[in-house]
Amino acid sequence: MKKIEKALVTCEYVLEGIENETLSTSSSLLQCLKIARLLGDSNSVIWLQYEYGGYPKNHEGKIKHSVWEIGFKRGRGFVKDGKDYVFAETASELEAKIANKKSAMTNFTTQGASVSGERAVSAMSKLTGSVVRSTADLLESISIAEKRLAILRANYYNYALKKSIELNFGYVANDIFNTYRRTVDNYFSELPAETILKLQEIEDNLNSTDSQLYSEAVLTCKKLVEETAVELFDRYYPNFNEEEYTTISGKKIDVSGEHYKNKLSAVIEKLQGKTTRRTLVGSSIIYILDWIENIINLQAKEDGSNISRDDVVRCILHTYICLGDIVALQQK
């Protein structure tokens, strides 16, 4: 079972355990820590470790400010006398506190007590008052502890719920993209072998940690779209020898040389006809091409040094969407 699958199973375990009240808050915490570890969610790992082991304090016995902020933002904050505070008890400490104080309440009773003499009534009144006050103090302490425990339980539940939604959406998105990719891959089979080899080049560069190769991966995406544009233009305009193409609106666009976007625009105009669906598809292709060009222009200005793996991944996804839309245009 993959880590993501394990994380999803653990999310459901936490959610059902809290909903059915079969999982303690402290146990839910440990399961959330497992989810964060499996997903490589480093920020949540740090937070949940504080939740489990306690929030570290400085030499004055106060919670360190940076750590204090984490606790405050994660639901431990409260306002008292106009000042912000956080409660520092862990879930296990609160559970133990509640259990101990509930047990202690059985010791505060007048049952079995016996007094006599002249001051019997006064003594019994004092005893009763003491029991009432002690019981009230215990009830208030238990109430505060239970409210704080409920806050922590809600935080852990929300974390598991959020991750469950993210993972389930990811599975759906992954299935959709795989279907989309198969369609595009079938289209690739019609392209020249040199073009297909560029796909492997993109994958190899993406798996590298060299930022320069990331830059090359983006350029490869551009080349892939360029060669597709040239191939399609030659296919749909086999005898076109002019440098300019006149669109339906009468605008002349340069389709010579490396003007691949104009060539693709001419192909799109030929394929899309007048249907709304195809017009929208054509517009999305041009938008994606502009996005890819903006990435390339940006990296050219910065010598490609600041391009990230995330930029490459987005570029690849947009390239697939672009090529997938081209396939959709060709389907009648």
Tell me the backbone φ, ψ of residue 244, rounded to 5 degrees: -120, 145
- Cβ(25)–Cβ(91) under 8 Å? yes
* Same domain, residue pair 236 and 161: no
Domain that holds residue 47: 3-54+90-171
Residue position matching structure tokens 């030499």: 59
Q: Answer with the one of 171, 203, 236 that is the final residue of a domain.
A: 171
Distance CA 286, CA 234 (A): 19
* Same domain, residue pair 312 and 219: yes
Categorise residue 81: left if φ over 0, alpha if ψ from -120 to 50, beta otherwise: left
* Same domain, residue pair 258 and 318: yes
Q: What is the pLDDT of residues 194-236, one digit of tens each?
A: 655 665 666 666 666 666 677 777 777 777 778 878 888 888 8
**Alpha helices, DSSP H, located in 81-191:** 91-105, 120-188
In a domain, 28, yes or no: yes
The pLDDT value recorded for residue 279 is 55
Segments in the chain below pLDDT 70: 1, 105-135, 170-177, 180-181, 183-212, 273-284, 296, 298-306, 328, 331-332
173: its two tokens: 């998105």
Q: What is the pLDDT of residues 257-295, one digit of tens each?
A: 878 888 888 888 887 764 555 555 666 677 777 777 777
* Same domain, residue pair 128 and 31: yes
The pLDDT value recorded for residue 51 is 94
The pLDDT value recorded for residue 110 is 45
* Same domain, residue pair 158 and 214: no
Q: Answer with the one of 142, 171, 200 that is the final residue of a domain.
A: 171
Q: What proportions of the chain, in percent to the nearest 5, are helix, strand and coil?
A: 75, 5, 25
The pLDDT value recorded for residue 282 is 62
Number of domains making up the chain: 2
Q: What is the pTM of this model?
A: 0.57
DSSP 8-state symbol, 1: -
- What string of DSSP letters covers 49-95? HHHHH---B-TTSPBPHHHHHHHIIIIIEEEETTEEEE----HHHHH
The pLDDT value recorded for residue 50 is 94
The pLDDT value recorded for residue 32 is 96
| Kind and range of the H or E run holding 247 | none
The pLDDT value recorded for residue 115 is 47
* Same domain, residue pair 16 and 157: yes
219: its two tokens: 């350029």
Provide the residue count of the chain.
332
Please measure the distance between the N-terminal and C-terminal CA atoms of the chain and give it in whole angstroms: 42
